[in-house]
Structure 1
């Protein structure tokens, strides 16, 4: 049987465990789950966290725009982020590779074909592609989406079986339950318009996303027949628990 293909999107809040630095423990947790699931699933990762990785090491002096500083931090942090992935995954017998993409890559037929062919070769040879926005030349995800949209576009291009978005909540909560202070997860939904009525417009503390960008990503995926799961990446074994029905999360049905 062919393996199912999962695109896992990991936000900054998940990778830092809502602190000010990248959590090696969280990256190891992700690697352990992939190692456990690799007989049945193949993985492509879209990971934020380059800026957070840089902030552990440097404080930049600047006279320019804040966005330029974030781009510079991303350039400093990206190699550190990849090194942490590589070191932790290698100990689990997993091999990693880096792919830096921007939205303009998805607007050209040849670029899209190149992305697809390269990632397919990597996956076929048991290298896990770790994708981030090319922040030196593009600022879309820095400003708006914490890689949610980039993950959805990549999922659609590669025709994955499932998009898993790891965030810092047990999926998407009903608005009423949030107002009452007793968060209740929306388990499954097919009509995204129903979901949009429930979300808040708050952004995450480290990322630039929030639930709105996740819903926009789910729309892109749904249009391509791809199911999206919004899961709590802060918890240990968040993927294996979700796949085995042991946790609360939101399933946006294709």
Structure 2
């Protein structure tokens, strides 16, 4: 039986559970769900969190060049982040691998082919690719994407069955319900145009994307014929609950 392929994008707020450090419990929760689903689904992960991981260990001096400091923090934090993934996943017999990509890779036909071939070989051999932006050479996602666009481009390149974006809300809420402080999830839409009218431009505490970049990611995925689900990654079992339709989340077809 062919397994369905899910690209799971995990933002910094999900990985830290909205605290100031990476949550091993959340990574363990993700690993446990992937282990439970591995007979039916294969997973590719796009994960933020390198900068958040570094902030647990170091405070860097700088002269107002904040983006350079973030790049340096990403370089320090990425090995720590991967180690936490590796340790928690290995306990369940799951194997991980690291892929660092940048936008320029998606503009180069040879690089695109290499990415696709490498990830397909990893997945075929039961290694879960964990992808992040190569922040030491590129700053796009540090500044305004939180890896949402990177996830969508990767999903389109690999022709996955589903792009699942984990964030800190139960999907996209209607603007009216937020005004009334009674958040109401938009359960399903066709296309992204109607959603753009519902979202605000606010950013999350650790992430740099906000809902705008998630909608833009869904638009990229839609052009490739891929559905996007925006789910609440702060909740336990968020992957399995979404797949079993037991949670409130937004499906964009």
Aligned position for 2:123: 123
The answer to whether 1:31 aligns with 2:31 is: yes
Aligned position for 2:236: 236
TM-aligned CA deviation for residue 64 of structure 1: 5.2
Deviation per residue, 1:203-237 (Å, 9 max, x gap):
11101010000000000000000000000000000
TM-aligned CA deviation for residue 63 of structure 1: 2.2
CA–CA separation in structure 2 for the residues paired with 1:65 and 1:151:
27
The answer to whether 1:156 aligns with 2:156 is: yes
CA–CA separation in structure 2 for the residues paired with 1:64 and 1:186:
41
Deviation per residue, 1:26-81 (Å, 9 max, x gap):
00000000000000000000000000000000000122510000000000000000
CA–CA separation in structure 2 for the residues paired with 1:185 and 1:100:
33
CA–CA separation in structure 1 for the residues paired with 2:103 and 2:219:
17
Unpaired stretches in structure 1, ≥5 consecutive residues: none
Over the residues paired in the alignment, what is the CA RMSD in angstroms? 0.5
CA–CA separation in structure 2 for the residues paired with 1:184 and 1:191:
19
TM-aligned CA deviation for residue 191 of structure 1: 2.9
Aligned position for 2:186: 186
Unpaired stretches in structure 2, ≥5 consecutive residues: none
> Where does structure 1 differ by over 3 angstroms across 4 or more consecutive aligned residues?
none
The TM-score normalised by the length of structure 1 is 0.99
How many residue pairs match? The answer is 253
CA–CA separation in structure 1 for the residues paired with 2:244 and 2:250:
14
Aligned position for 2:95: 95
Query: Does structure 1 retain, via aligned residues, the 8 Å contact 2:191–2:219?
Result: no
Aligned position for 2:66: 66
Aligned position for 2:104: 104
